[in-house]
Structure 1
Amino acid sequence: MLLLRPIVRGLWVLQSTPRLAGVAWGSLPRACAAWTPSRAQGTWSAGHSSQRRKVTAVGALLGLGAGLAYGNHRRQATEAEPNAEAAPGAPYPVFTRQEVGQHRSLADRVWVTYGNEVFDITDFVELHPGGQSKILLAAGGALELLWAMYAVHSQEHVLGILRGYKVGELSPEEQSQPTPEDPYAGDPPRHPALKVNSLKPFNAEPPAELLTENYLTPNQLFFKRNHLPVPAVDPASYRLQVEGPRGRTLALSLHELKSRFPKHEVTATLQCAGNRRSEMNRVRPVKGLEWGVAALSTARWGGARLRDVLAHAGYPEEGQAGEQHVGFEGLDQDLSGAAYGASIPYSTAMGCHGDVLLAYEMNGEELPRDHGYPLRVGVPGVVGARNVKWLGRISVSREESQSHWQQNDYKGFSPSVDWDTVDFSTAPAIQELPVQSAITEPAPGAAVPPGELTVKGYAWSGGGRGVGRVDVSLDGGRTWHVAELKGEEQAPGRAWAWQLWQLTGPVAPGSTELDVVCKAVDASYNVQPDTVAPIWNLRGVLSNAWHRVHVTVVQD
């Protein structure tokens, strides 16, 4: 099993959370294993946990869309199921769904069906990137429903891994299986200009050149980050559950949230922890969606202050509650009923200058479904993962949220940590994000005219730290120019939104290529690191090295 773990983990390149959701297969860094078949008297038998597969062939191709070469994957087996009857001329025994259903636990072996085939996945359960709880949802039954939720599994190289665990086939009379309803069928329409990183769940970013066309990102072009299907919420029956300090729970309607509490507006940038992950992936493969430079956007959010709602529920002001956390649960759920969840420190939630909102408006419009309709949390200066959408419940606890996305994701690690040594309990959950900037024009590989070059981009820093300066180089960092900053004036310590910037600089005569670089300095003089390798981490989060774009100068 120890031998299998790094092989299988290397194959499963995750793109979103929960770990199963939104898997992307752009980089398959390690070899896949092929297993030696063992055949006896024309039948294949179900093995036990004491048997271990033998690695007999390996092969993997790197790169987006690359194919994966598999050897002859078949389940090594030593002992036939007592009631298994081999179909004439078939290499596998035949089982009924009832027989498959008897294998629902590690003690009894974990069997699943996919199509008309039966698989014993017991030895894979521990290796599953989504954790045991997710894959065990299908134990003793069909994988189709689970894979409809996490549809990206239906790819040939994923199916190739599954085929290595085949132990039988369904009896002919039980082979018909209704197609599961697509859990994403009710998702809203999206703008066709978005660059899609995963369809189910939907994750997409706008083209970089459109990102900085407007200070406030149009709602249709605002980047989309979903972990699960978009829930359909009836605003008339919607109630926000707020757990009070004395065991009393408030149930607030949307109308009550709008009428009881003063409306507050905040212009804030929202950034995914995986923004610019693709640059880390070029250093070493990471697990996560292949985000470019546009997994962030800016909007004018409107709603009730969280601190007003918590005070109404009976919670004390900041500083009077000790070390506590405010937890949020969304109405989006996986097949087990687990909701997306996250938390922030109590001091952030109740801070008089924190501007944390329960937002029901976005850029002066009703909150769109993809962005949390009818209500979401807006935590300025904090990673997007804590800005829970489709908000259903708020609670206060001395512990952080126990959600997977708080405890086992969205954390940074040393470049020396890999998936065999990672311990998520040793790292704090990401809250405030580091200083960030990127070039949106010109595009990588663009052909530009000689003479002068205009460079555009964005800069932002978490925690309300404003951007003090953006430096731009046209020669790979040997010489620098200070860019012009554009954007709304923001109060010190409450600079929640990005600065757009622009620089027009001279192109040295005779130049044929340019290495354009940008770096930002925030109000606390934090500056971006110059290269990616020292900040690389296995999840590809917090990618904020100098951004570099290589262009060609087209001579007259």
Structure 2
Amino acid sequence: MGIWGKRDDMVVHQQEPFNAEPPGGALAGARITDVDTFYSRSHGPVPRLDPTDWRLTVDGLVAHPLRLSLAELRDRFEEAGATVTLQCAGNRRAGLMTVRDIPGETPWGPGAASTARFHGVRLADVLAHAGVAPEAAHIAFHAPDVSPSADPPQPYDVSVPRERATEPDVLLAWAMNGAPLPDVHGAPLRVVVPGWIGARSVKWLTRVTARTTPSDGYFQTTAYRLPGGEAGAEGVALGPFPLNCAVLTPQDGALVAPGPVEVTGYALAGQGRTVARVEVSTDGGRAWFRAALDEPAGPGVWQQWHITLDLPSGDADVLARAWDTTGAGMPASPASLWNPKGYVNTSWPRVRLRVR
């Protein structure tokens, strides 16, 4: 067993802060990701919070500020659960790095996405109990982990619009796959915002604040933004994650024997949508073959896919693409998506296989 209880073959990009993803084969075919396999994205050292002393503060533009223990959360509010795919905004960044280098950023492969069953309470119920004021347009989440990459170094603080925070699928979760949250995944309580970049599903949550404006924190105002757009020089804050698709096995550069080769992967649509189909090509996109696609566990949850290809000797480039239930597809080239932080690579995934 590796660091933080993770499997020994995790690809560890950083030990401190701890950033790691599983190899593709560990995700292939698994609708639910084991906790020891679930990717980890940290911005600072993992806090060790004592669940008995921990309290959640709910404040800001509320009629009744709250200070709740875990026991009080359990006793006062109805328990809720959901199967959720979390995806780092930098998932598949390595594909953008083939277009142009992105110095200082983690070269995530397709493993910065994982799916678990989370249990806790609905954030909407807690906010309703606090009595959020009509003028509160944003809900901010605060955690004590201090990021050295922030300027200046500061605790983690981001927000989501109120209309998203009060939807019934957003959870304050204390359990993951039927067990208490591990420290590395946000114990004792984290936010889970399905369909949005993982950066909004804040771990080690200590405060929820109703505000008129978005969070003032570095990871809201500076990081996790795409350049340009209507927001001007500051760029556009990332939120819902668009349709994405990945090839998990065989991995890029793998040596395989000629003949039948099973190719597997996942596809996931954004908030409120599911994947309609996945196709695979081995000739640069001239001909496409439809892959078998698992039924969705719910909107925004990944769907595993697989296909058997008959490959002759030589090198084979395997491409994949997906469509969601709205008819949206994926851009063909990572060059059209390159950005200075390497966020949201949703271009067709490509792996090169050596067929010998």
- 1:394 paired residue among 195, 208, 212: 208
* Alignment TM-score, normalising by the size of structure 1: 0.60
The one-character-per-residue Cα deviations of 1:401-453 (angstroms, maximum 9, x if unpaired) are: 11100110111236xx9xxxxx9754221000111001011111222222222
Shift in CA distance, 323/461, structure 1 to aligned 2, threshold 3 Å? farther
| 1:123-202 equivalence runs, <5 A | 188-202=4-18
Question: Are the counterparts in 2 of residues 244 and 250 from structure 1 also a CA contact under 8 Å?
Answer: no
Distance in structure 2 (CA, Å) of the matches to 1:240 and 1:201: 24
Give 1:293 deviation, angstroms.
1.1
1:548 alignment counterpart: 350
Question: Are the counterparts in 1 of residues 247 and 265 from structure 2 also a CA contact under 8 Å?
Answer: yes
1:329 alignment counterpart: 142
Question: Are the counterparts in 2 of residues 513 and 551 from structure 1 also a CA contact under 8 Å?
Answer: yes
Distance in structure 2 (CA, Å) of the matches to 1:410 and 1:468: 28
1:379 alignment counterpart: 193
What SS does the aligned partner of 2:220 have? helix
What SS does the aligned partner of 1:304 have? strand
Task: Work out whether 1:315 is the aligned partner of 2:132.
Answer: yes
Shift in CA distance, 521/334, structure 1 to aligned 2, threshold 3 Å? closer
Question: Are the counterparts in 2 of residues 201 and 228 from structure 1 also a CA contact under 8 Å?
Answer: yes
Question: Are the counterparts in 2 of residues 407 and 424 from structure 1 also a CA contact under 8 Å?
Answer: no
What SS does the aligned partner of 1:501 have? strand
**2:300 maps to amino acid:** W
Give 1:244 deviation, angstroms.
5.4
Shift in CA distance, 246/282, structure 1 to aligned 2, threshold 3 Å? closer
Question: Are the counterparts in 2 of residues 372 and 390 from structure 1 also a CA contact under 8 Å?
Answer: yes
Task: Work out whether 1:277 is the aligned partner of 2:93.
Answer: yes
Distance in structure 1 (CA, Å) of the matches to 2:42 and 2:16: 9
Aligned alpha-carbon RMSD (Å)? 2.0
Question: Are the counterparts in 2 of residues 487 and 498 from structure 1 also a CA contact under 8 Å?
Answer: no
Shift in CA distance, 312/438, structure 1 to aligned 2, threshold 3 Å? same
Question: Are the counterparts in 1 of residues 320 and 350 from structure 2 also a CA contact under 8 Å?
Answer: yes
Shift in CA distance, 398/545, structure 1 to aligned 2, threshold 3 Å? same
Task: Work out whether 1:520 is the aligned partner of 2:338.
Answer: no
Q: Percent identity?
A: 41
What SS does the aligned partner of 1:258 have? helix
What SS does the aligned partner of 1:391 have? coil
Shift in CA distance, 244/460, structure 1 to aligned 2, threshold 3 Å? same
What SS does the aligned partner of 2:293 have? strand
Give 1:489 deviation, angstroms.
4.0
Question: Are the counterparts in 2 of residues 367 and 373 from structure 1 also a CA contact under 8 Å?
Answer: yes
**2:194 maps to amino acid:** P
**2:111 maps to amino acid:** A
Give 1:511 deviation, angstroms.
4.1
Report runs of 4+ in structure 1 exceeding 4 Å deviation.
334-337
Question: Are the counterparts in 1 of residues 62 and 130 from structure 2 also a CA contact under 8 Å?
Answer: no
1:529 alignment counterpart: 331
- 1:429 paired residue among 237, 240, 244: 237
**1:302 maps to amino acid:** H
Distance in structure 2 (CA, Å) of the matches to 1:243 and 1:301: 25
Larger Rg: 1
Q: Indicate the structure with greater strand content.
A: 2
The one-character-per-residue Cα deviations of 1:107-145 (angstroms, maximum 9, x if unpaired) are: xxxxxxxxxxxxxxxxxxxxxxxxxxxxxxxxxxxxxxx
**2:137 maps to amino acid:** Q
**2:79 maps to amino acid:** K
Distance in structure 2 (CA, Å) of the matches to 1:488 and 1:433: 17
Shift in CA distance, 246/440, structure 1 to aligned 2, threshold 3 Å? closer
Distance in structure 1 (CA, Å) of the matches to 2:256 and 2:62: 65
Give 1:357 deviation, angstroms.
0.1
What SS does the aligned partner of 2:43 have? coil
What SS does the aligned partner of 2:326 have? coil
| 1:172-251 equivalence runs, <5 A | 188-243=4-59, 245-246=61-62, 248-251=64-67
Distance in structure 2 (CA, Å) of the matches to 1:235 and 1:274: 31
